[in-house]
Amino acid sequence: MSDIFSVENRIAVVTGGLGQLGTQFSKSLAEAGAKVAIFSRRPFGPEQLAQKFPGLEGRIRLYEASVTDKAALEAATEELVADWGVPHVLVNNAGIDSKPDGSAEQNAPFEVYPQKYWDDIIDTNLTGVMLTSQVVGSRMAEERRGSIINVGSIYGMVSPNQALYAYREKRDGVPFIKAISYAASKSGLVNLTRYLGTYWAPRKVRVNLISFGGVKTASFDKEFIDAFLDRVPMGRQAEIDEYNGVIRFLASDASSYMTGSNVVVDGGFTAW
């Protein structure tokens, strides 16, 4: 039975693979024997890559491409196919958000929320997934195999609870509203996943979504963390490596009968 969880020698693309979670996904897949192609808009040299992923030289390569630039994605995919072959796995991980400690303008009330922030987040989190899936997924479909894993959020399932952010106005004297764009982008992934899961099922490409909860990080205010954890049945955020298992599960044959699904990993946040 252990063999069905194997990703040995599979070729995996991870977008945003240098970020907090992307680094974990790239490292975990490579350690399990996969060849990992990181698609990143940031240039990153071989020496930097070796420092970030020690001992995994030869299993992780970087291809410079923004998920919002289809021509760059096509060029990166062509280069990858020439280097290693057609990918077996695509992890659509690249994403951006306004943070709880971000500017008031980025988290303004809906009535005055600037369109530029809406455009930036929708372009990366939703359009970027569509474009990357279009470019990489179509190559998988030609090969009649593959697994696409979209990285979502609990805020794609439920609306942000604005009470979590009320401390900011009390502290700073400025209204602070968790903006609509991140939730809208992640909600869009729910049906994009279902659409592609059914669309490509006849060509044996599976498409699933993971809706994550919070992950432990130093970038959030203590007031936010305390309020958030009061609403998590398990009483804690995820450790940085606790999402790796579900990524590897969906990348492997252990999930061979799953497509169009939303796997929720949130410590119980959405169960209440």
Greater model confidence, 142 or 220: 142
Which helix H or strand E contains 211, and what residues bound it? strand 205-212
Partners of 25 in the β-ladder: none
pLDDT above 70 (res 101): no
pLDDT above 60 (res 201): yes
pLDDT at residue 217, rounded to an integer: 83
Strand residues in 50-194 grouped as ranges (E): 60-64, 89-92, 146-153
Q: What are the tens digits of pLDDT across the range 20-70?
A: 999 999 999 999 999 999 999 998 988 999 999 999 989 999 999 999 999
Contact 1, 131 (CB under 8 A): no
Query: What whole-number percentage of the chain has pLDDT above 70?
Result: 98
Q: Is the pTM of this model over 0.85?
A: yes
Reference 196, options 104, 132, 115; nearest CA is: 132
Q: Which domains does the chain have, with CATH numbers?
A: 2-99+126-159+181-216+240-264 (3.40.50.720)
Segment 179-206 mean pLDDT: 98
Cβ-based burial of 18 (10 A; exposed 0-12, middle 13-18, buried ≥19): buried
pLDDT at residue 18, rounded to an integer: 97
Rounded CA gap, 127 and 119, in Å?
A: 10
pLDDT above 70 (res 1): no
Segment 227-237 mean pLDDT: 96
Rounded CA gap, 155 and 165, in Å?
A: 14
Segment 136-140 mean pLDDT: 98
pLDDT above 90 (res 154): yes
pLDDT at residue 47, rounded to an integer: 92
Strand residues in 28-101 grouped as ranges (E): 35-40, 60-64, 89-92
Reference 199, options 140, 248, 157; nearest CA is: 140
Segment 203-227 mean pLDDT: 92
pLDDT above 60 (res 183): yes
pLDDT at residue 214, rounded to an integer: 87
